[in-house]
Structure 1
Amino acid sequence: MTWPSNKLPRGKAVFKNRLLKSWCELKNIQELSFVNNNFEGTLPSCLGNLTSLRWLSLGGNRFTGNIASYTLWRRLTSLEYLDISFNRFEVPVSFNQFVNHSKLIYLSVGYNTLTTNTEFKNWIPNFQLKFFAIEGCVNLQRLPSFLHYQHDLRILAIEYNQLPGNFPTWLLENNTRLAGLYARDNAFTGPLKLPSSRHLYLEQLDVSNNKLSGHVPANMSSAFPKLISLNMSLNLFEGPIPSDIGGFHLRGLVLSHNFLSGGVPSDLAIGSPSLTFLRLSNNKLTGQIFSKDVRPSLLFYLFLNGNSFEGPLPSNIFLKPLIALDASSNNFSGEIPQGIGDNTKLLQLDLSKNHLEGSIPVEICNLKLIQVLALTENKLSGPVPSCVSGLPLEHIHLDKNQLVGELDALLNISSLKTLDLGYNSFTGNIPCTIGSLSNLNFLLLNNNQLQGEIPTQICLLNKLSIMDVSFNKLYGPLLSCLGNLIQAENDAETGSSYFHTTTRLAWSDFLSWISSARNYHISYDVRTDFSVMDVETRIQFTTKRNTFTYKGSILKYMKGIDLSSNILTGEIPIELGNLSKIHALNLSHNHFVGRIPDTFSNLHEIESLDLSYNSLSGRIPVGLLELYRLAIFSVAYNNLSGAVPPFEAQFSTFDKSSYEGNPLLCGVPLDNERSSTKSSNTSPKVEGHTFQLMPRTR
């Protein structure tokens, strides 16, 4: 019997406890699941009456209490499957409350609190588990002793525990039929020692994010001949990649974030004909990538970023099966090869942060499936091929190159979510077709030579969260409809989340371990470095005096508009006060006149507000005192007059540099009753993309 997950309202503790107790009347029930509901408190003791129970899943609730204090376990000796993970239980590390559960083969206790107790000396459990998961537990300092007596495990998950000491090779030696060992995010140190004899069943091994050191073992393929995926990333491994690290069955290999050196051995491709996923990112690799005549036939995902490869881009990394290629942050030089057009299955291409030059080849338009194009920080020149307007691109990063031309083609791609063209030499107007980009979250056109008025169609971008058109030659009045932007949540990719529970469907035949084991394999690929795509949007935006790179959940949170360093004129529309969710607004270095709108007191989320270097007049609205999140504020070099806002709340943190250049302003923190600083509206623009604020002292 399964209660539907996520259906019970929170805060109905009495009702839910009564509901739990109602199940106690079903004396002959064999399967019971309350997974992913909002149950809380202690388990009713009457559950011990369900002596025929074989399957009990309590995962994903807020149950409490010490497992050892529940007497119901003494009566539930028919249990074969027990999942208490993702709760608030206290679980004794001895697990001796299950001493008589001879039928138990599946036990998941992760994401609870482990407590120490006196373990039975020489306690040999009556059960032989096939599945044991003890992930993400608080206070787990060592593996439970009963594991020394387990010899039939098929899946073992001990990840996210920060366990110290050497890697427990004995687990592999004791369980010769183990198919998956997941030990990431612990604190294991020293070399990775392999078992003394061949392990014929291991398919997945993950030891990532530990402190393992030394060389990668040279005989990995012979030690684990059935290995399908191997993740050794985020460790301290050094030396070359062993030529025999692969194997006939190997499909996924992740060695990123280590200190590996040398080239990529050809034998890795030759000896691993099934290899589809290879991540070698962030090492010290140099030299050859395979050999020129070696082209892995099934490699779909290749990540070489963050190494020291140099010279022209090798032709054998542009493989026809490729879905994702990341060769960013290396020292590749020369032109992008025209043969890139043969990679017709590519969804993601990242060649950023190299020394590539020449034009973007028109053959790139043959990539009819491409979604991500990142060529940031190279020396590319010339126009962007107009045919890109026919591609299904979602993320374009071409910033920090020497590209020229107009934007018509690039602003005619309706699927776009990110368009970053900053720091180039694009010219012409912002075309009216920009209004068709209804999915656009991030628009960065800063530091170009764009001119003309901002088109009213830009106000149709109701998903926009960051807009930066600073350091151009845009002129004309500021659109009042901009006050309607920055309201909706953006839908940028910020990484995937994972919550593991094994469903009854996945465990369709309880007596066969293989269903849930395979399900765990598949689920594990989703939540680790074997992701199908490696897309993470990164945006550089200037706020609080500095240029920050936003990504992940922070990027989803960040909202800002930068129109600084243009030739915009007229009054600041009062409608900009509707930007209640904005965090940064920069209108500095323009020619705005009139008053600071009183409606700016509605910018409750704002952290950085820069109105400096304009021709604004009148008083500073005292309502700005209500902006409690404000960390950076400048109205310097305008024609403002009267008293500055009272020196309280956030405004007590702003020094005189926030107000200088306004001779008719007075009050704390200005030195004198009236500022003697001469007004200036012609201060030269400063190179680079930063707020024009003087340093503050505290």
Structure 2
Amino acid sequence: MHSRICYFVVHGVVKRVIAVGGRRIASLNIILERLESFQGVLRLNKLQDLNLYPNEFTEFPSLGGLPSLTSLDLASNFLKNSNNFEELTTLSNLEVLKLGNNLITSEIASSIARLTSLKTLSLADNKLNGLWPVERMCKLKNLEELDLSACGLEGKLPPCLCNLTSIRSLELSKNNFNGTIPSTLFFSLKSLEYVSLSENLFEGLFSFSSLANNSILVVFKLASHNNLLRVETEIPRPLPIEFCKLNELRYVDLSHNNIGPTIPPCANMLSLNYLHLQRNDFRETIPIFISKACSLVTLDMRDNKLSGGIPKRITSVSNLRILLLKGNNLDGLIPIHLCQLKNISILDLSHNHFSGSIPPCLKDITFGWRRTLDGPFSIKDQNRSLFVNSYKTQLPIKALDYYLEYYTFYEAEGVGFLTKSRYETYMGNVLYFMSGIDLSCNNLTGQVPSEIGNLSWIITLNLSYNQLTGVIPETFSNLKQIQSLDLSHNRLSGQIPSQLIELTFLSFFKVSYNNLSGRTPQRQAQFATFDKSSYEGNIFLCGEPRRNVVPTLTIMLHRL
């Protein structure tokens, strides 16, 4: 049997259709102008896979003439409640149902609960509300993948979830679930590979001992939304020994859970790619286990109480791309051995107590120039049917991609970073193109190394709120990709290099509150967009958009 490409014609217009099969069309991927155009599809009674994402349907289409359907995708439409929901119950062979990013409410739950063959169900980003829709889903004993994120669900997690013994992916984030997480929830869910309960309203204690039977768990996300959830720990509050037995973990997010002050040395991090431990009251030094995490791509320990310096053992994590240590009590020099982490693209050491000069060897770090899509910011395992995305609004759970020979498990990484004076979250493939250094709010002194100008691929550079002296290096004109440059609140002197007007992507520029003098750069290209806030606090600086003449000695003395 040979695959072939077919075309579906609607009112004389050729629409996009992918057909797989021989004599009979088995799969359709269609974009229609209106629901009436769908009627012709109903004659395809052998159709198995139907993809109607994304269209502008406001009503659920009649599906009674498609008894052979095994996969249906109606995500990213404008579907509301409909009498046609009941027709879902005629699709007894349906295994995959994707209805994410619509306007569907809880009335659909009764119909879905009768689809006993379902293995994959996504209702993410709808308006289910309440709790009973989840209780209905508990009847789907064959479910392997369930995504009910961002649905307005509330109340306590129903104990019946433990009946989903075939479940591999459980996504319940961004809801309003409250109360405690049942200690027995995961005991019978031995096939779990992905679980996300982040951004809910849980409180009380959660114990890793409840994951004792989940030995193949790959992704675990329990970032707290209200800071009332606490991970149960032992005296003196390290993570419990059960954490050390999760050997397959590759993505862990336990942010905002007050786990500190330490992490057990037994923690098995050999397979871990992404570790998020923001705001957890960790103290002492950067944990020893980091030196064993040779596969680590992201280390996020922002907003803890870590002290001391950056240890040399961190150089063993040679694959590290993102290092976020903002908001701790780290001090001493920024060590030269940090420059051995040549693959780093985002480095955030802001809001600490680092002193001394900026190492010129930072020029040896990648910071974006190796932009190959080699997969460091996602987990992809071949020959898995699971397809989960951490920011899923339109992407499907199961990757029914007829151009691939296998399905993939996918978990996209996401990190927050200050750029253009505001925090942005960069996710998934965007991280391939994002790079930056943030050393702001420390006690750094000395001159800005001219070698930093060699970082031609860097997007964001923030050296503000330090005690840096000397001139702005002319080599900064080589930062051809830079979009955000903040040198404010230092003691820089001399002129602003006129060559900076060559930075055609620069959209945020700030050198305020230094000791700069001379004329501001010509108001052309990007520099025509910067207002006086970019230059204020430099009394010897003249030119637009500040002023046209250097202030006289009398005026300066008056200001003093």
Is the TM-score greater than 0.5? yes
Deviates more, 1:325-334 or 1:547-556: 325-334
- Kept in 2, the 8 Å contact 1:266–1:291? The answer is no
Find the aligned partners of 2:28 and 2:512 in 1 and give their Cα distance.
60
Distance, in Å, in 1 between the alignment partners of 2:486 and 2:183 is: 55
Which residue of structure 2 lines up, in the alignment, with residue 187 of structure 1? 78
Q: Cα 1:146–1:481, aligned 2, differ >3 Å: closer, same or farther?
A: same
| Other-structure match for 1:37 | none
- Over 3 Å counting, the alpha-carbon distance change for 1:539 and 1:233 in structure 2 is closer
In structure 2, give the amino acid aligned to 1:645.
P
Cα distance 1:317–1:333, how it changes in 2: closer, same or farther (>3 A)? Answer: farther
Residues 178-226 of structure 1: CA deviation (Å, up to 9, x unaligned): 33333223332214622397554333322232222242433644x3333
Q: Note if contact 1:110-1:134 (Cα within 8 Å) is conserved in structure 2.
A: yes
Could you list the runs of 5+ residues in structure 2 that have no partner in the other structure?
383-395
SS in 2 for 1:384: coil
CA contact (8 A) 2:180 2:203 kept: no
Equivalent residue, structure 2, for 1:348: none
Give, in whole Å, the separation in 2 of the partners of 1:336 and 1:140: 50
Q: Contact (CA 8 Å) 1:244, 1:267: kept in 2 or not? A: no
CA distance in structure 2 between the partners assigned to 1:612 and 1:95 by the alignment: 61
Residue of structure 2 equivalent to 1:174:
65
Is the alpha carbon distance of 1:334 and 1:294 closer, same or farther for their aligned partners in structure 2, counting shifts above 3 Å?
Answer: closer
Q: Where does 1:137-148 land on structure 2 (aligned, <5 Å)?
A: 137=31, 139=33, 141-148=35-42
Given that 1:383 and 1:403 are in contact with CA atoms closer than 8 Å, whether structure 2 keeps it comes out as yes
> SS at the partner of 1:569?
strand
Counterpart in 2 of 1:78? Answer: none
Alignment match, 2:171? 279
Mapped contact 1:243–1:265 kept (Cα < 8 A) = yes
**Aligned equivalents of 1:663 and 1:447: distance in 2?**
32
Aligned to 1:218: 110
- Pick from 139, 143, 146 the counterpart of residue 253 of structure 1: 146
Per-residue deviation, 1:640: 2.3
Corresponding position of 2:99: 207
Q: For residues 522-671 of structure 1, what are the structure 2 equivalents within 5 Å?
A: 523-524=399-400, 535-671=411-547
Q: Which residue of 2 aligns with 1:432?
A: 312
Specify the SS of the correspondent of 2:85.
coil
Cα pair distance change 1:431/1:249, threshold 3 Å: closer
Q: Say whether the 8 Å CA contact 2:221–2:252 is kept in structure 1.
A: no
Alignment of 1:35-54 (within 5 A): none
In the TM superposition, what is the alpha-carbon distance from 1:422 to its structure 2 partner? 1.7
Aligned with 1:397 (options 251, 257, 276):
276
8 Å CA contact 2:224–2:254 kept in 1: the answer is no
Is the Cα contact below 8 Å between 1:620 and 1:645 reproduced in 2?
A: yes
Aligned-partner Cα distance in 1 for 2:507–2:450: 22
Aligned partner of 2:389 in structure 1 is: none
C-alpha displacement of 1:605: 1.2
My pick for the range that moved more, 452-461 or 292-301, is 292-301
Q: Deviations over 1:670-690 (max 9, x none)?
A: 2351247979xxxxxxxxxxx
Deviation at 1:333, TM superposition (A): 4.3
Task: Using structure 2 for the length normalisation, give the TM-score.
Answer: 0.82
Could you tell me whether the CA contact under 8 Å between 1:142 and 1:164 is conserved in 2?
Answer: no
Give the drift of 1:592. Answer: 2.4
1:355-399 Cα deviation digits (max 9, x unpaired): xx9543355333333322322223333233344476433222222
Q: CA RMSD in A?
A: 3.7
For residue 326 of structure 1, the aligned residue among 216, 221, 227 is 221
Say which one has the larger Rg. 1
CA-to-partner distance for each residue in 1:328-375, whole Å, 9 max, x for gaps? 345574642359xxxxxxxxxxxxxxxxx9543355333333322322
Give the distance between the partners of 1:549 and 1:184, measured in 2 at CA. 24
Greater shift in the superposed pair: 297-306 or 594-603: 297-306
Q: 1:161 aligns with which of 54, 57, 60?
A: 54
Q: What secondary structure sits across from 1:641 in the alignment?
A: strand
Which amino acid in the other structure matches residue 161 of structure 1?
Answer: P
Secondary structure of the 1:218 match is helix
How many Å separate the matches in 2 of 1:397 and 1:304?
15
Contact persistence 1:376–1:401 (CA under 8 A): yes
Instruction: Give, in whole Å, the separation in 1 of the partners of 2:134 and 2:261.
Output: 42
Corresponding residue SS for 2:481? coil
Superposition deviation, residue 138 in structure 1 = 6.2
Q: CA deviation at 1:483?
A: 1.8
Q: Kindly tell me: are residues 421 and 267 of structure 1, through their superposed partners in 2, closer, same or farther at Cα, counting changes over 3 Å?
A: closer
**Residue of structure 2 in register with 1:493 after alignment:** 377
Farther off after superposition, 137-146 or 304-313 = 137-146
1:461 to 331, 341, 345: 341
Matched position secondary structure for 2:170: strand
CA distance in 2, matches of 1:386, 1:140: 60
Q: Secondary structure at the match of 1:212?
A: coil
- The equivalent position to 1:232 in structure 2, one of 105, 113, 123, is 123
CA contact (8 A) 1:94 1:145 kept: no
Q: Deviations over 1:74-114 (max 9, x none)?
A: xxxxxxxx4147xxxxx5226999xxxxxxxxx98149xxx
Distance in 2 (alpha carbons) for counterparts of 1:294 and 1:613 = 51
Amino acid at match of 2:51: I
Amino acid at match of 1:318: L
Residues 211-220 or 461-470, more deviating: 211-220
